[in-house]
Structure 1
Amino acid sequence: MKTCCLILAALLLPSSHAVCPDKEPVLQPWMPGHSEDHRVTIGYGRKVLLTSSATVHSIEILSGGELHIGSRDCPYKGNLTISLFGRLDDSDKDHSYFGRKYIGVGTGGTLEIHGEKKLSWTFLNKTLHPGESNQNNYLFQRGWGSRGIIIHVIDPKSGEVLHNDRFDTYRSKDESRRLAKYVDGVGAGLILALMVNDEGSNNLEDSAKKILFRLGSQHINTLGFRHPWTFIVTKGDPSSVVEGHASYQEAEWTEWFDRDDERGSGDWEKVSDLHEAYPDKLCSNPLDIQAETHDGIAANQTGDVIHKNDKDYGFVCLNKDQTHGLCRNYRVRFLCGKLVRPQASVSIDMLSNSSILELGDEAQGWRSGDRVVVASTDYSMHQAEEFSLMPCSTCTSSQVKVQGKRTSNV
């Protein structure tokens, strides 16, 4: 067995007690060094002070011997680590009482370890979210009146926005050439974030397209009318590209409506009745209409005689027109022009690699460098995470700052 004591001071002395054991004047410095064969025996008679880390085979405290690390009135404030090494199949003989790996305290011997009083555990008073950001966040939002391509230049280290501008490439080719010149002048290594607000393709000419293509854009050459587009890249590193693009749809189908059924005179799905029943779900001037049965058969394939199927009036099937005397139950939907609401936003969360823990108790005895474990009853014990405490001048007595980020909510 090897016992490694990584301590600042430990006192080996007989039964007399002192307020601070390591301050007793008769102590002699003890530096046993590092030897796996050294068997330390602590008995009566000598008073020594361990002044450096040691590696020994074993420590046995005999009758009258005492090993003190701090005292009740003078707790040890350093870090103490005792590590036991070795393998089960080692050739060492077992001690007749303590076995093979041990710090043995025999009859009449004393081992006292007094550390600083520390809060052993507590509850969190506030949910610790993964990747929680600090307060220095950036939010940019634009709607109507900010048409074109909006660009941000961002410092990759601090997250600070160094500059932003807007280029109305819908209105003017001059704006497109100004965009090309602007992008060309941005220094390598800076982050470029570009997006289209409302419309930006109408007068986007080749010089701008070429420089954005060289930066790594795959969609700039096919950017169409009112296509949403975002492009983020670290200039000079095409592998860093993050790009999004979609085709603009000027119209979309509503949900299916079934206000009436086939009972009575027939199935009546009139636009005026549907407007009254669903005022927020149907546009005032539909572009088209579709009608089908509830099992998905189009109205013109059912064999029913359809009285009216008109986008402005609606759908009507009359029972009296059917050879079997009854219409099927139909549902309808309408094609509506899509309302354009341009919206562009940039949000930058500047994350520091730290989190603030809100504790249920005062963090008594907790110091920078200490390790704490955060766990939750909502998760397996194997999902517990360990953090190091950091200095925090702004923390209250029940707050601590830890290095790192929680990967799941606690």
Structure 2
Amino acid sequence: MDNHTMERLGYDRLELGSERRRLLTQKVTDFIEEHLQKVEKKETACFNINDDRASGLLNFSISEEPKDIGAFYLGPGAARLEQLLISWVAGLFNFPAGFAGNLTSGGSTATVLSFLTARQSKQLKARDFERTVIYLTDALHVCAYKALNVIGLGEAILRKVPMDKKFRMVPEELRKIVKRDKEAGLLPAIVAASVGTTNFGSVDPIDEIADVAEEFNLWLHVDAAYGGFFVLVDEMKYHFKGVHRADSIIVDPHKSLFMPLGLGVVVVKDGYKLHNANILTVEASYLRDVDMFQDEKSPKNFSFELSKHFRGVRVWLPLQLYGIKPFRECLKEKVELARYFTSRLGEIPGFVVDNYPQLTVVTFHYETGNDDTNERVNQHLLERILQDGSVYISSTTIGGKFRLRICVLHFRSHKDTIDFLLSFLTKAAVSLSSGMIKKLHWRKCKV
């Protein structure tokens, strides 16, 4: 975030509240500045975003002095700070005026708020749930299913929209399915798309999906929990075409903004809908004082939480200390590293890349020519890598087939990390080609 943007949003005028908190913030700042002097300038762009311990120390200070900001009057400065952060996030995606949002514990809670708002906006009643239709793909994060259960839509009809070869929702297929459902007398309600799926890092064509959503009056939800902050990288902005047309979007600063765990953001385009879905509908006399400041936004009115942790400061402080440039450069590096890994892996005999990274996720496997042997060999590779402990990768399945997976997103992952993994895989390929496959097959037969 450059100085002009900081000034425009009012960061220079924000205060943390009590004198004790201001003094503590100054101490944290002094500590960070002293720490940074010990690090070479060339490292600061990517290495020290989290290594500065700024958010960690402030997390500790907040735990020592808990702050409930559910109601504006309990923490005016903190509540305003969170509104500034929500405005900043909404601005990244060019949301029009009238939006509202909330800082949550993560993408799961943010998704619950999004779907709850959609349900209320569509005026869906319990009697409608069995006829209500939700549209998604197999690549959508599992938190969407949990959110639907939480808000009572576990009995809704789930339509799996086909994906293309790049694991992206096909808008024309969506249109056909929705049209058929309407003709059958069902209630098409929500379409959930992704900017950065967990399995593949794939990005759905949001603008085209938005066309279908508008045509059939669907609530368009965008899960950008992982991929959202790649919007900061100029060469990645094309992935976000049409995102401003979404009814709701979620992003996780604790993922692609490298912040501490426990930070999610939900933004709803028509902010009054988020407010209406969460406002108290019964009078509670013991909360009379809470709404003294009617012209100010209380976070509790945009969430099901009444008591609310002061989460915003964990994002605010690093942005204050460094601005947005280091975060942007770090994201650019991760994109380049994923592409570098993909290119180099193709040079190692036996290995096959299953998807070119749209963001920073790459799935791959060692190909033996036999599906059963493939699974045993690749599981063995995963076990060896994890036992070594120098790098971490995970596994998944594509079409029921076992695959290896990396997601280059940790702030300490650099070229040497990728080179180590490539070296490990190169040595593994030599071992496999020299007879290990036969040994694994023999062990399986013996068992």
TM > 0.5 fold call? no
Structure that is richer in helix per residue: 2
Structure that is richer in strand per residue: 1
TM-score, with length taken from structure 1: 0.18
TM-score, with length taken from structure 2: 0.17
